[in-house]
Amino acid sequence: MTPPRNSNAARDIANVLHPYTDAKAHLKNGPLVITRGKGVRIYDEQGKEYIEALAGLWCASLGFDNERLVKAATDQMRKLPFYHAFTAKSHEPMIDLAEMLIERAPAPMSKVFFGNSGSEANDSALKMIWYMNNALGRPKKKKVFSRIKAYHGITLAAASLTGLPANHKLFDAPIANGRFVHVRTPHHYHEAKPGESEEDFATRLAEELEARIIEEGGAEECAAFWAEPVMGAGGVIVPPRTYFEKVQAVLKKYDMLFVADEVICGFGRTGSYWGSQTFNIRPDILVCAKALSSSYLPISAVMVNEQVFQGIAEGSSTVGTWGHGFTYSGHPVSAAVAIETLKIYDETNIVAHAAEVGAHMQAELRRRFADHPIVGEVRGVGLIGAIELSADKAARKPFDPARKAGPRLVKHGEEQGVILRAMVNDSMGFSPPLIITKDEVNEMLDRVGRALDALAVELRRESIAAV
């Protein structure tokens, strides 16, 4: 149905180019216009209420109406609404936030660089690694490894690290410089051999990684390995047991840095403060964003250890400056909101809450949906999870993409009052605000269950009709 001429939807269609949207289909279908939020819920312009099962984009950790964050922004706006960090300028919010992050890091870190998004942070980390190796006289040590289905952002370099087709097709990505290497997805459900245990699968993945490093020139040419502790946009893929321990042993052997992309997993999402702690990762560089400010304002951070910092310092001394930065790096208002966010996490013991409610969510996801006729796998840890739709549970076969099972479940979810997101292989992600209660988890999953049942009926009728 065409929206009324002067409605918000019609004005949106006429003027807005949306990220991650079929632009041609949008001209016909239009947007869902959201007007306000409260707790874990959002409301559209007709007043309909939805539970936000993905916290927006994995990010509104404290929900949609935290007054302390509003006040932190307002107070800082009145005191110092903007200043930059170029040419050794600074301000107290940026200094305080950097100090707080280093105190909370899962491994010893030396310095913090600020950006505005996870994409910018990963792009910056890549530039740091190349800059460092040039400064240290290792001009060939430039190849970086990530995984198929990984998501590390959408700037051209971050999209090159990303391992998802939609972020590559028509964009000329990955950059054709031979420096980006993608290795196997650590997804036991789809990638393991028959009868292969998680531990044996992890061993094989580490062996494959080492073989590829050797093929790509070994320690002389291979610089770093990027990983999300739990892969987010690739389908909420939890690594097999012992995977990261075995991968880190390989990286150490070839003098490669480990970059932990904590943009989704950081600040309690996996039941630990960092996903790195959940999976025994000791990163050399840590990238974070999203829940850093509960996404009330844009901010990201790159934490680097002393080895990386010394390389940057050496290069900047030679050149005369470190020629990288953003106008809004360490923006005082964003930094003030992030500081208040971290204080709230500490005061409310949000990590323990996420671990307790996350355990409940994981149990309920499995109890309710593991045996559902169109669900192939239920997976997750803490307050991040997924259900993957399947046309044939025994064969672990996905639905034909033409049937659009995932997007259709999203629409059924909206009808039932829950916001979902379809990802790779029709996987539905769950990453609700960290403040969600057990009762709200139950309510969320009740709505998902009704949507899933409605989709199953539709698909069954279509299959019968096709015969």
**Any idea what the Cα angle at residue 264 is, between residues 261 and 266, rounded to 5°?**
75
Checking if the pLDDT of 330 tops 80, the result is: yes
Report residue 1's pLDDT band, with 50, 70 and 90 as the boundaries.
Answer: low
φ/ψ of residue 464, rounded to 5: -65, -45
Question: Could you read off the pLDDT of 103-159 as tens digits, one per residue?
Answer: 999 999 999 999 999 999 999 999 999 999 999 999 999 999 999 999 999 999 999
- Judge contact between 417 and 48, C-beta under 8 A: yes
Query: What is the topology classification, in CATH, of domain 68-348?
Result: Aspartate Aminotransferase; domain 2 (3.40.640)
Average pLDDT over all residues of the chain: 97
Please give the pLDDT value at position 464.
81
Please give the pLDDT value at position 463.
83
Checking if the pLDDT of 3 tops 90, the result is: no
3-state secondary structure string, the chain?
Answer: CCCCCCCHHHHHHHHCCCCCCCHHHHHHHCCCCEEEEECCEEEECCCCEEEECCHHHHCCCCCCCCHHHHHHHHHHHHHCCCCCCHHHCCCHHHHHHHHHHHHHCCCCCCEEEEECCHHHHHHHHHHHHHHHHHHCCCCCCCEEEEECCCCCCCCHHHHHHCCCHHHCCCCCCCCCCCCEEEECCCCHHHHCCCCCCHHHHHHHHHHHHHHHHHHCCHHHHEEEEEECCCECCCCCECCCCCHHHHHHHHHHHCCCEEEEECCCCCCCCCCCCCHHHHCCCCCCEEEECHHHCCCCCCCEEEEECHHHHHHHHHHHHHHCCCCCCCCCCCCHHHHHHHHHHHHHHHHHCHHHHHHHHHHHHHHHHHHHHCCCCCEEEEEEECCEEEEEECCECCCCECCCHHHCHHHHHHHHHHHHCEECCECHHHEEEECCCCCCCHHHHHHHHHHHHHHHHHHHHHHHHHHHHHC
Please give the pLDDT value at position 465.
66
CB atoms within 10 A of CB 392: 11
Please give the pLDDT value at position 5.
76
Please give the pLDDT value at position 75.
98
Report residue 177's pLDDT band, with 50, 70 and 90 as the boundaries.
Answer: confident
Distance of CA 175 to the CA centre of its chain: 22
Percent of the chain whose pLDDT exceeds 90: 97
Question: Could you read off the pLDDT of 219-247 as tens digits, one per residue?
Answer: 999 999 999 999 999 999 999 999 999 99
- Judge contact between 260 and 286, C-beta under 8 A: yes
Q: Which residues of 260-269 are buried (b: 16+ CB within 10 A; e: fewer)?
A: bbbbbbbbbb
Checking if the pLDDT of 467 tops 50, the result is: no
Q: What architecture is the 32-65+350-466 domain classified under in CATH?
A: Alpha-Beta Complex (3.90)
Please give the pLDDT value at position 349.
98
Question: Which residues face 379 on adjacent strands?
Answer: 386
Cα distance between residue 58 and residue 66, in whole Å: 17
Checking if the pLDDT of 366 tops 70, the result is: yes
In the chain, domain spans: 32-65+350-466, 68-348
Question: Could you read off the pLDDT of 248-300 as tens digits, one per residue?
Answer: 999 999 999 999 999 999 999 999 999 999 999 999 999 999 999 999 999 99
Please give the pLDDT value at position 320.
97
Please give the pLDDT value at position 4.
75
Checking if the pLDDT of 412 tops 80, the result is: yes
